Amino acid sequence: MTTLRFGLIGTGYWAQTVHGPGVNQHPQADLVGVWGRDSTKTSELAKELGTRPYADVDALLRDVDALTFAVPPEVQSDLGVRAAEAGRHLLLEKPISTSVAEAERLEAAATQARIASIVFFTRRFLPETIAWLAEAKATGGWDCGRAEFAATALVDNGVFSHSPWRYEKGGLWDVGPHALSLLCEVLGDVTTVVAGGGRRDQVHLVMRHAGGASSTASLSMSVPPPAAGSMVYLYGQAGRTSAPSRALDRSEIVAAHGAAIDALIAQIDQPGAGHPCDIHFGRRIVQILAAAERSVANSAEATI
């Protein structure tokens, strides 16, 4: 395939350190330009990345083949629909939206346009995680899974500590997609969920999967720094297996973004092939998270 012309949507930390460099470093991608809601930041980031700032997002859409998104979910879902309707391929951030209706609208637009789509669940594009998932699926017989994502992002005064949507939606919507992307890949789709809240944004999920297995997840973005950490494991007839969970450096995350670009290009080269992390899976993750949110609010089990 010839070089894929990309537009970058967003000017924040993740756009600057992951999405922009991910495109720039990919041998089959060309970063045509950047669009952001703040024109000053757009110009600064475009200069840093060696590309062109766009004041008009529709002008950027006309000049590219694909878009990589690093903006809040509600901005992403709206612009994603516009991009899909223009026939542009989508490399989306998780969650693709925090609204089920908007996630379904975005999925419908992408399906109608027959475009390629990838949702960037970071660890799903790491070689070590890909290998672990393949081995776990080949082994089978897992009765239960457990995920814990305990982060400090809302309390450490770091790059994400002033993110309005993260403050509003908490760990359920930010780190929850990562947990689900691993558990569902092995245990199958979630059919019911019971969820309850803890301190600050802490939420705990108990889930039943389509094949009869169950899983739990504890999610937070506001734990004390000494308590931060993550883990995912499965147990069953074969024993117990744990997913790779070491901390990642920035170069590894950029490489994972490059692997997501590879996956997008593979879909373009083989229309209809799909991918485990495409927009359909992204929409399903939103539905599961919304059901968990309802369960917390209503103190009741939610069927999805």
Continuous H helices in the chain: 13-14, 20-24, 39-49, 57-63, 73-85, 100-113, 127-139, 164-174, 176-187, 250-269, 279-298
Lowest mean pLDDT of 35-44, 79-88, 113-122, 153-162, name the range.
Answer: 153-162
β-strands 66-69, 89-93: how paired? parallel
SS3 27: coil
Span 50-64, pLDDT tens digits: 999 999 999 999 999
Which region holds residue 200: left if phi is over 0, alpha if psi is between -120 and 50, else beta? left
My answer on whether 9 and 28 are in the same domain is yes
Say whether both 146 and 101 belong to one domain: no
Confidence band for 134, pLDDT divided at 50, 70 and 90:
very high
- The verdict on 135 and 181 lying in the same domain is yes
Our count of domains for the chain comes to: 2
Query: Does one domain contain both 108 and 201?
Result: no
Together in a domain, 31 and 154: no
Range of the domain at 9: 4-123+251-278
266-287 pLDDT tens trace: 999 998 889 999 999 999 999 9
pLDDT of residue 161: 83
Q: Which is more confidently placed, 161 or 172?
A: 172
Residue 31, strand partner residues: 6
Of 173, 208, 216, which is closest to residue 189 (Cα–Cα)?
208
| Domain harbouring 150, CATH code | 3.30.360.10
Same domain, 89 and 231: no
Could you tell me the pLDDT band of residue 4, with boundaries at 50, 70 and 90?
very high
| Residue 68 sits in the same domain as residue 187 | no
For residues 125 and 263, the answer to whether their CB atoms sit within 8 Å is yes
Kindly state whether residues 108 and 164 are assigned to the same domain. Answer: no
- My answer on whether 139 and 237 are in the same domain is yes
The yes-or-no verdict on residue 236 having pLDDT over 80 is yes
Q: Are both 11 and 97 inside the same structural domain?
A: yes
Mean confidence (pLDDT) of the chain: 96
pLDDT number for residue 1: 61
What's the CA gap between 221 and 202, in Å, rounded? 7
Query: Which strands sit side by side in the sheet containing 302-303, from one edge to the other?
Result: 239-242, 229-236, 142-150, 214-220, 203-209, 190-197, 302-303
78 with 197, same domain? no
Q: Percentage of the chain with pLDDT > 70?
A: 100
Q: Contact at 8 Å (CB) between 14 and 256?
A: no
Lowest mean pLDDT among 126-140, 142-156, 288-302: 288-302
